[in-house]
C-alpha cells in the first residue's frame, strides 16, 4: 500500500528532524565559549540550520498526515452533531465525513440493487454505524434502484431504524404487557434520572447510553426486562436496572 509507505517515510523524516533539532539544542546549550563574537556566529549558523530543518519538519508532517488519512480504517472522525432526527434527507452537497464509506458499496454488492433489498440494506447500515447516516443513505440511492423518497419512507416507518447517532451503549427497556404491569415505567423513569437524560432526549450528555423503549423483547416471564447491547437482563427493580447498566459500562 503506497499511502502506508508514504506515511512511514514522512513520519521517519519528521522524527529525524525532531531528533536533529533536539540534538542541536542540547549541543548548543552545552557549548561553553567565552568569546561573544564566536558565540554570535555560531548562533547565527545554528539558527539558519534549524530554520531549514524546521521547514523540512513541517513538510514531512503535512505529508505524513495526508498519507495517514488515506490509509483509512484508523480512528474514524465523528459525525457532525447536528444530524437531524427528522425523516427527511438533507439536501445539498456531500459532506465527506462518513467513515469507512466503502461499507455501503460492499453491502450493496452483497445484498443486491433491487428495491426489495431496501430493508436488509438499512439493517446492514444500522448494524455497522448504529444509526442511519444521511451520507450512507444517499450512497444507497446512488448505487441502487431505490429512490430517496422510498428510502426516506421506509427508514422512517420502522421503529428499529434511527436517524441520529447513538451513545456508546444502547439500552432497550421492554414495555410489553407483562413488563408494563410489573413496573417498566418506573424502571425507565429511574434510568432517565440515573443517567441524567434531559427531557425529550434519549441519550445522556456524556453520550454513553441511549435509552430505547421497545414494544416487547419476548422474555415476558422474567418481566421487567431490559437489554444492554443485546445482553438481556430480567426480573429487574429500579435499583438492579441501574446496576445492570453499571456492569456493562
Closest separation in Å from C-beta 235 to other proteins: 8
- Tell the smallest beta-carbon distance from residue 170 to other proteins (Å): 13
Largest CA distance in the chain: 92
Q: How near is the Cβ of 116 to other proteins at its closest, in Å?
A: 5
Quick check: 123 binds other proteins (CB under 8 A)?
Answer: yes
Three-point CA angle 224, 227, 229, nearest 5°: 170
- In terms of phi and psi (left: phi > 0; alpha: psi -120 to 50; beta: otherwise), the region of 33 is beta
How many helices (H) and strands (E) are present in the chain, helices listed first? 9, 4
User: What cell does 193 get?
Assistant: 434520572
| Shortest separation between residue 167's beta carbon and other proteins, angstroms | 19
Does 223 help bind other proteins (rule: CB under 8 A)?
Answer: yes
* Residue 108 interacting with other proteins (CB under 8 A): no
Contacting residue, 154, 166, 169, 208, with other proteins by CB under 8 A: 154
Residue of 22, 158, 229, 243 that binds other proteins (CB under 8 A)? 158
Strands 209-214 and 226-228: unpaired
Residue 117: DSSP 8-state: G
- Burial category of 81 from C-beta neighbours within 10 Å (exposed 0-12, middle 13-18, buried 19 and up): exposed
Footprint on residues 35-64 left by other proteins (CB under 8 A):
none
Helix axes 134-143, 102-111, angle to 10 degrees: 50
In residues, how long is the chain?
249
Question: Which span (44-52, 85-93, 170-178, 197-205) binds other proteins, by CB under 8 A?
Answer: 170-178
Of the pair 77, 153, the CB lying nearest other proteins is at: 153
* Rg of the chain taking only CA atoms, in angstroms: 28
CB of 153 to other proteins, least distance (A): 5
Tell me which residues touch other proteins (CB under 8 A).
Answer: 114-120, 122-123, 146, 150, 153-154, 157-161, 175-178, 180-183, 186, 189-190, 193-194, 214-223, 225, 230-235, 237-239
Amino acid at each position: 500500500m503506497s499511502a502506508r509507505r508514504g506515511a512511514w517515510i514522512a513520519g521517519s523524516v519528521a522524527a529525524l528532524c525532531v531528533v536533529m533539532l533536539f540534538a542541536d539544542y542540547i549541543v548548543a546549550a552545552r557549548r561553553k565559549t567565552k568569546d561573544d563574537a564566536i558565540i554570535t556566529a555560531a548562533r547565527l549558523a545554528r539558527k539558519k540550520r534549524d530554520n531549514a530543518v524546521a521547514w523540512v519538519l513541517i513538510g514531512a508532517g503535512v505529508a505524513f498526515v495526508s498519507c495517514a488519512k488515506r490509509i483509512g480504517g484508523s480512528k474514524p472522525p465523528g459525525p457532525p452533531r447536528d444530524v437531524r432526527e427528522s425523516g427527511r434527507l438533507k439536501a445539498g452537497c456531500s459532506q465527506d465525513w462518513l467513515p469507512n464509506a466503502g461499507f455501503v458499496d460492499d453491502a450493496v454488492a452483497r445484498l443486491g440493487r433491487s428495491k426489495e433489498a431496501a430493508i436488509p440494506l438499512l439493517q446492514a447500515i444500522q448494524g455497522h454505524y448504529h444509526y442511519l447516516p444521511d451520507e450512507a443513505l444517499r450512497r444507497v440511492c446512488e448505487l441502487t434502484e431505490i429512490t430517496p423518497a422510498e428510502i426516506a419512507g421506509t427508514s422512517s416507518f420502522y421503529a428499529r431504524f434511527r436517524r441520529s447517532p447513538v451513545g456508546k451503549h444502547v439500552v432497550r427497556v421492554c414495555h410489553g404487557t407483562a413488563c408494563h404491569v410489573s413496573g417498566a415505567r418506573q424502571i425507565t423513569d429511574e434510568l432517565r434520572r440515573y443517567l441524567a437524560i434531559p427531557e425529550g432526549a434519549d441519550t445522556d450528555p456524556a453520550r454513553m447510553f441511549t435509552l430505547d423503549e421497545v414494544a416487547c423483547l419476548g422474555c415476558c416471564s422474567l418481566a421487567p426486562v431490559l437489554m444492554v447491547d443485546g445482553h438481556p437482563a430480567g426480573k429487574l427493580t429500579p435499583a438492579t436496572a441501574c446496576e445492570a447498566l453499571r456492569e456493562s459500562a
